[in-house]
Amino acid sequence: MSASSVAPSSMNGQATGRGIVLSVNASALFALLSAYTLWLAPLGGLDVFAWRVIWTVPGALLLLAQRGRTAQMRALFARMLGDARTAFVLVRSAALLGVQMWLFQWAPLHGRMLEVSLGYFLLPLVMVLVGRIYYRERLDAMQWLAVACAAAGVAHELVVTHALAWPTLLVAFGYPLYFVLRRKIDADSLTTFAIEMLLLLPVAAFEVWLGGSLDLLGPRPLLAFVLLPGLGALSAVAQGFYLKASRVLPLGLFGILCYLEPVLLVVVSVSLLGEHFEARQFATYGPIWIAVSLTAVHSARFLRNRR
């Protein structure tokens, strides 16, 4: 199937409006998820990642059942078993998603969440390029202005630091590849997410067994029976919103809406995680705030014109 046949450029206004709402809600939940990690002490980043996968699986399966998509999951699983190409794409997408999930849980514990947030600021710029080059999508004048403002902020960061940290690069270039692979699968987003979690489950179970985190949970029933299941539920809902938005929105619009998440991550990093925001960084984040404001205005106009 060609790339153009799966691009969502022909989606109607109602679907696009729903995609905008889903994207905004996903950004808010993911920002909360980064701070949630602090409640899971003494677990380390890899431990939290493993338990997040384990507890996300039942949450994802429950969402599938509630939406009547268990038959679609069985069909995709059968397709994976019968088609080596589909299996290879699913394994790669699961691996890319697993790396991003690990980084998201590791960074708050090591004072690197601001670097991750910068990666999320870069991500929409990369996705816009992918949308223009790979999917041949078009952006209107206000969208291009938002991208230009964000690019100015990112350019300032590069001039000042002369380099980008590896967590920044991993987010900025890892997620676009992931989303391209997800579209190649050409299946329901939540269904594919559930399959990806099931593929990651053996890795997570091995880490729990090898890392010894079970011993840490024994004297901590609140952590074992409330906080970790809550982590899985929050992750399943947020990821479901995010992936659905990525399927129903044009890649350029979806990419620009992603600016909201790093803005919220910066707020959480400074206010809840205790990371330091230097004065020079206002020249980086100021233009990006303008880009976010332009995106909000554009989205509001788009919805109003489609009614």
Domains: count for the chain: 1
Is 6 inside a domain boundary?
no
Percent of the chain scored above 70 by pLDDT?
Answer: 90
Whole-number pLDDT of residue 139: 73
- Between CA 12 and CA 29 the distance in angstroms is 26
Percent of the chain scored above 90 by pLDDT?
Answer: 30
- Between CA 45 and CA 55 the distance in angstroms is 15
Answer yes or no: are the C-beta atoms of 185 and 3 closer than 8 Å. Answer: no
Answer yes or no: are the C-beta atoms of 40 and 223 closer than 8 Å. Answer: yes
Average pLDDT over the chain reads 83
Dump pLDDT digits (tens) for 47-70: 999 999 999 999 889 888 888 889
Whole-number pLDDT of residue 304: 66
pLDDT at 284 over 90: no
Angle separating helix axes 70-82 and 45-66, nearest 10 degrees: 120
Answer yes or no: are the C-beta atoms of 168 and 115 closer than 8 Å. Answer: yes
Residue with tokens 């100021």: 286
Question: Which of helix, strand or coil describes residue 106?
Answer: helix
Interacting residues of 16 by C-beta distance below 8 A, sequence separation 6+: 248, 249, 250, 253, 302, 306
Q: Of 41, 65, 31, whose CA–CA distance to 264 is shortest?
A: 31
Give residue 264's domain range.
Answer: 12-306
Segment of 45-54, 114-123, 164-173, 212-221 carrying the highest mean pLDDT? 45-54
Is 1 inside a domain boundary?
no
- Between CA 244 and CA 64 the distance in angstroms is 13
| Average pLDDT of the segment spanning 187-213 | 90
Whole-number pLDDT of residue 299: 67
| Average pLDDT of the segment spanning 267-284 | 85
Answer yes or no: are the C-beta atoms of 181 and 96 closer than 8 Å. Answer: yes
Whole-number pLDDT of residue 129: 74
Go through 144-164 and write b for each residue having 16 or more CB atoms within 10 A of its CB, e for each that does not: ebbbebbbbbbebbeeeeeeb
Give the pair of three-digit tokens for residue 96: 């890319």
pLDDT at 252 over 70: no
Whole-number pLDDT of residue 197: 93
Whole-number pLDDT of residue 74: 93
pLDDT at 7 over 50: no
The model's confidence at residue 92, banded by pLDDT at 50, 70 and 90, is: very high
Is 231 inside a domain boundary?
yes
Is 210 inside a domain boundary?
yes
- Between CA 77 and CA 82 the distance in angstroms is 9
Q: Which of 16-30, 102-116, 152-166, 175-189 has the weakest average pLDDT?
A: 152-166
pLDDT at 1 over 60: no
Give the pair of three-digit tokens for residue 290: 């303008």
Dump pLDDT digits (tens) for 116-150: 988 887 787 787 778 777 767 677 788 788 888 88
Whole-number pLDDT of residue 11: 44
The model's confidence at residue 198, banded by pLDDT at 50, 70 and 90, is: very high
- Residue 204's identity, in one-letter code, is A
Whole-number pLDDT of residue 13: 66
Helices (H), 164-227: 166-185, 189-211, 213-217, 221-222
Answer yes or no: are the C-beta atoms of 302 and 266 closer than 8 Å. Answer: no
